[in-house]
Every structure is written in structure tokens, then in C-alpha cells.
Amino acid sequence: MSRRVSDELADVLIIGAGASGAAMAWSLAETRMRIVCLEQGGWMNPAEYPTTRSGWELERFEGAYTLSPNARGRREDYPVNDDDSPIKVSNFNAVGGGTILYAAHFPRLHPSDFRVKTLDGVADDWPIDYATLEPFYDLNARMMGVAGLAGDPAYPPKEPPLPPVPLGKLGETLGRGFNRLGWHWWPSDSAIATRDYEGRAACINLGPCITGCAQGAKGSTDVTYWPVARREGVELRTHCRVREITVNEEGLASGARYVDGNGHEHHQRAEIVILACNGVGTPRLLLNSRSGRFPDGLANSSGLVGRNLMFHPYAMVTGLFDEPLEGYKGPTGCSIISQEFYETDPARGFVRGYSAEMLRGMGPVSTALWGMSSNCLPWGAEHHAAYDELWDRTAGMVAICEDLPEPHNRVTLDPDLVDADGIPAPKIQYQLSENSLRMLDHAVARGSEVLKTAGARETWSEAPLRPAGWHLMGTARMGSDPRSSVVDPVGRAHDVKNLFIADGSVFVTSGGVNPTHTLQAIALYIADHIKKNLENLFD
């Protein structure tokens, strides 16, 4: 393998072009510093997304658009050993990262999420609060194009820039169910352009956002932040997989060694290094960056790199209704959200809580496969009658349960497994806590209750949902004490003063909502700190 050294020094090197790396690059671009971003994946072509062709539905379950990197097996992906976890990792590697396949559900954390120790006596408080992030949530909502409705009593006031995703017949049906129970519900905040917005065409309700948006209406960062950041001068190099962060004699990050798409190895020097590789990729890279000065991995004097991994344990409940719901139309995961059970109530038998996100229905193939796995679609003479009772008559709920940090839930390096470039792959060790199990039980019961109240004649549940490891958090946590955290309150590694982390790794707790909006707001907040302190950043 040839090895090439870049003579050009970057002011800022960002690793990862996904949700947070894109936000970081865009925000820093106004400084006119030389900013380079390395991304192991390439650019996606929306014209090639599955919804553009026949057979689109099955591609969700197999091939290049499945959620599991192990099943996809693209060169851009790295394998993950998640044999020791009941929840399997889901991610995507490309410009846009996980936002390429996410559902674009875009809720914020709540004020209480930053004070869980103070309020509920568990885990730790964040060193920052909701008010600190609020302006960055607002900025990110404008950049990503968030659709929603003001006035939600579950949140401090906020003004989404775009009108909400249509409720449709399904949303109305479920909303009436919530009203009968007197439970909270609200149209979901969604990173979906519900009208033409900043060069993006309006959503046309294709349905399966989770195999990529051919319309370009979904706010994936390849169509939001990156076009602007590149126009502002950020250099984005694709198919470049970082092997390690290098350090100099002073213990500062000096750049990154990476392999390009042709297998050539390079070293990119940089004054500032920022990691944005998600809650599994970032600890993997830090642990792969061992040196004489950092024998346990970079920025790991606390021993916490990779520890406190949090997913969101998901419960899923599916209800079968008597009437067609037109559920195959519209953004799959962005109908309505309920936070009736979000804040702690000791009477429930667990601390913290969950969001309930209502799902639209399924396409023809998904209906058949779900019917088969749920034992309600027989073969033989009764097949067609049974299918007709299922088709377009299902609606679902997923509960996103807050996962509390536990040191034994962790990312390490697998001793044998490597990616296509020979770089050690991550290994996941994860167990569900008793608190999570009780919360999942509660969510299944309440989900069944609301679906039946809305008109479902039967419900089915699954908890935990196995392939639901798409929220990766906590593995390089933020804090003021270097003994109990990896980065400080502005995202800088305690051990390496020119190394920043700006992804879900820094979450202290997980909350019970999808994390993308928060991790992007954090990236913008960290970028803001860097910009305001450039003169004395390393003093």
C-alpha cells in the first residue's frame, strides 16, 4: 500500500459528513478557514433510490438500502459485531450519513432531559441546558427545514418554519383515539419540506422515507447543509476512511491517517480535528488511535471512551382496523407523536419515560410479510380474504424509551473483525436494564390501549425491536470533570485540547426522542464556541 502525505495543512479537519459533520462544516465555513471533511461513503443519487422503480418495497429488507451495515455489506460500510446485544446497530455511511435512511422525525429534547440527576435522581445532569441549545435548535430547524405546528404543550414555545406533515385519514383516526383517552398528541416535528423550501421540492407523500427520498424533500444533509457548505469553500473528500487520529509530540491532534477509495493511504494534517462519526464510529476511531502517549486510545484517560452506550429501546405495537386508512401514503414515521408518558411518574414503576410515535401503514409486500410473521395471513383458500382484511388497515406505534447510561454497555474493538481496509471493527456489548424492560412493558400496554381506543380490533407487539439500533449515544460523554467524562461542556476532549467531538457520542443521557435535531444543535453550538474563541482557543 502506498502512503502519501499531504503537505497542505487544514485549519479544521472534520471526520464524517453525516448529520453533525455537515452542520459543523456549514457553521465554520463563514470563518474562511481551510476546512476539509473526510467521509468514508460517497454521494447518493436520489434518482437511484428504490421508490423510483418497481420492486421498491423489498429493497427495504435486503440489499443496499437495508438498515444493517452487516446486511448491506457495501464497501463504504464497516461491519459491527453486535452479537452480544438484543438491539442491532443500524446506520448508513454516505454524504448525509444516517439522515439518508432516517425517517426524519425531528423532536427536540425537553428541559428536564438535561437535569435527570437533579429531577429524578438517576444518571447525570448535562453540563449544558435546554436554553443553551435553544437558539441552535431554531437555527438547525431553519437549515434542515422542519415541518411542525406551534403550540405543543409538551414543549417550551417553538415555531417550526414549515407547516406540518398532513395527518391524513390515519392521523385523524389515531388523534381521535388519543382524545378519547385524554392523552397528549401532536403533529410530529419532521425534517420534511411540506412546501418548496430552499431549493428542495415539496414532499409528495411517497411513503417510505427510510430508503432515501427520491423527491429530495426529506432533510438529509446531502441536500441541506452540504450544498451550502461546499459553496462556502469546505472541501469534502468522499470514499476516505480514517484509520487513526495522529498526535504530535505535544500531545495535540496533528491530523488523520486515512485510506482513499483506491486503497492509497494518506495523512491529512490539521490544526483542529473534529469527530462526527456517530456513537459507534467515534469511539471506534478513538480506540483505534493508540499511541505511546495514549496507550488506551485517544482522549481516554477517563476510561470512558466507548462506555455508557445508549440506544433507545423501542416497543412496537401494530393495530388492525376495520376501515382503510390510506396508510401507505405519506411519510412513514412522521404522523403524530404523543408525550403523555414522557416525564417521570413514580407510579408507573420506572423512571424517565418515552415518546410514542405513530406510524403509517404498510405497502403491499410489507403487509403480506407482516401478516405472515404475525400468523394472520394463512396460505390456501383463505389467503385472499385474510389479506383483504389486512391491506391498508394497519397503523402502528413505536415507543422510544429513554435509555439510561450504564458503563457496562459499551463499544470496544473486535479482536478479529475488520473492515475492507483492515481497520478493526467495533464490538457492541449491551444489555437492557430493568428500568428499560418495565418501560417497554408499559409502552406496549399503553400502545395497545390507544390503538384499540382508536378503533383497532386487534393489536400485535414486539419489544424490544431488534433492528432499532439507529440512535447511538453516550460513548464519549460530555461533562466538566475529566474523571467522569470524555469531552468538556463545549465538546473539546479533556485530554487533547484541539480535538472536538460533535455527535451523539457526547450525549450524557438519551432522552426519549430521536436524537438528530439535538446532535446537530450541539454541533452548531460547538462550532459557535470555536468561532467565538478562535483567537485563544488553545490557551
Partner 1 sequence: MNEDSLPEPVFSAVLDELIPARDSSLPGAGALGLGATVESRLGAAVALVASGLAALDALANTRKARDFVDLPREVRVELLREVAASHLGFVENLIVHLYSAYYQHPRVIEAIGLENRPPYPDGYELESGDLGLLDLVRERARLYRDA
Of residues 428-487, those binding partner 1 (CB under 8 A): none
| Of 284, 280, 350, the residue nearest 310 (C-alpha) | 280
User: If binding means CB under 8 A, how many residues of this protein chain bind partner 1?
Assistant: 73
Under 8 Å between Cβ of 219 and 146: yes
Contact residue for partner 1 among 8, 30, 83, 129 (CB under 8 A): 129
- Stretch of 238-246, 322-330, 405-413, 447-455 lying at the interface with partner 1 (CB under 8 A): 322-330
Q: How far is the CB of 176 from partner 1 (least distance, A)?
A: 7
Q: Tell whether residue 339 is a contact of partner 1 (CB under 8 A).
A: yes
Taking CB under 8 A as the criterion, which residues in 191-220 touch partner 1?
203-208, 214-215
Q: Least distance (Å) from partner 1 to the CB of residue 19?
A: 24
Nearer to partner 1, 100 or 499 (CB): 100
How many H helices and E strands in the chain?
11, 16
Closest separation in Å from C-beta 113 to partner 1? 8
Pairing of strands 499-501, 265-275: parallel
Q: Residue 531: what are its φ and ψ, rounded to 5°?
A: -65, -40
Instruction: List the one residue out of 17, 469, 390, 411 whose CA is nearest residue 235.
Output: 17
Instruction: Say how far apart CA 512 and CA 507 lie, in whole Å.
Output: 12
Instruction: Read off the C-alpha cell for 447.
Output: 400502545
Cα(529)–Cα(450) distance, rounded to whole angstroms? 44
In whole angstroms, the minimum distance from the beta carbon of 58 to partner 1 comes to 6
Q: Which of residues 369-388 bind partner 1 (CB under 8 A)?
A: 369, 372, 377, 379-381, 383-384, 387-388
Residues of span 232-271 touching partner 1 by CB under 8 A: none
Cβ closer to partner 1: 57 or 403?
57
Can you tell me which of 33, 64, 119, 490 binds partner 1, judged by CB under 8 A?
Answer: 119
For the CB of residue 237, give the shortest distance to partner 1 in the complex, in Å: 30
Question: CA 285, CA 288: separation in Å to the nearest integer?
Answer: 5
If you search the block for the grid coordinates 389479506, which residue do you land on? 387
* The Cα angle at residue 92 between residues 88 and 96, in degrees rounded to 5: 145
Q: In the window 162-191, what residues touch partner 1 (CB under 8 A)?
A: 164, 166-169, 171-172, 175-176, 178-179, 182, 184-187
The grid coordinates listed for 15 are 471526520
Cβ closer to partner 1: 159 or 296?
159
Burial-class residue 386 by CB neighbours within 10 Å (0-12, 13-18, 19+): middle
- The footprint of partner 1 on residues 96-115 (CB under 8 A) is 110-115
The minimum distance between CB 363 and partner 1, in angstroms, equals 8
**Please, which residues have CB within 8 angstroms of residue 439's CB and are 6 or more apart in sequence?**
313, 350, 352, 353, 354, 399, 401, 402
Site for partner 1 in 31-70 (CB under 8 A): 49-58
Minimum distance from CB of 388 to partner 1 (Å)? 8
Nearer to partner 1, 70 or 238 (CB): 70
Question: Any idea what DSSP says for residue 442?
Answer: H
Q: For partner 1, what does the binding mask look like between residues 345 and 374, x meaning CB under 8 A?
A: -------------------xx-xxx--x--
Residue placing its CB nearer to partner 1 in the complex, 377 or 530: 377
Taking CB under 8 A as the criterion, the residue among 128, 139, 149, 420 binding partner 1 is 149
Sign of CA dihedral 90, 96, 102, 104: positive
In the complex, minimum distance from the CB of residue 444 to partner 1, in angstroms, rounded to a whole number: 22
Please state whether beta strands 314-320 and 35-38 pair in parallel, antiparallel, or not at all (unpaired): unpaired
Q: How far is the CB of 528 from partner 1 (least distance, A)?
A: 22
CB 285 within 8 A of CB 244: yes
> Minimum CB separation from partner 1 for residue 208, in Å?
7
User: CA-to-CA distance for 534 and 66, rounded, in angstroms?
Assistant: 41
